[in-house]
Amino acid sequence: MKYARKTGLVDKLGPHDLRRTCAKLCRASGGELEQIQFLLGHASIQTTERYLGSRQNLREAVNDRLGLDK
């Protein structure tokens, strides 16, 4: 909060705001929900989805990108 005081944002910025911003930046840069869930310490992936306002991509599974043809 030292830097928030220096910028005058102390009344507008809280630790939770920084936590949410970090999580959203991780997601925007391609971070997987499971990684962000671990970062935030959420027990449930659904909690992380609600927290970020996004959902898992179940149509394109990560194993579909392995490039293995039948």
Q: What is the tens place of the pLDDT at every residue in 4-63?
A: 677 777 677 777 888 888 999 998 898 888 999 999 999 999 899 888 887 655 566 555
Q: What is the value of pTM for the model shown?
A: 0.62
Determine the pLDDT at residue 41: 94
pLDDT at 18: 83
User: What is the Cα 3 distance to its own chain's centre?
Assistant: 23
Q: Where are the alpha helices (DSSP H) in the chain?
A: 2-7, 15-28, 33-40, 45-52
Residue 69 pLDDT: 59
CA-nearest of 61, 63, 60, 41 to 51 is 41
64 CB contacts (<8 Å, ≥6 apart)? none
- In the chain, domain spans: 2-55
Nearest one of 48, 52, 32 to 40, comparing CA atoms: 48
Give residue 7's pLDDT: 78
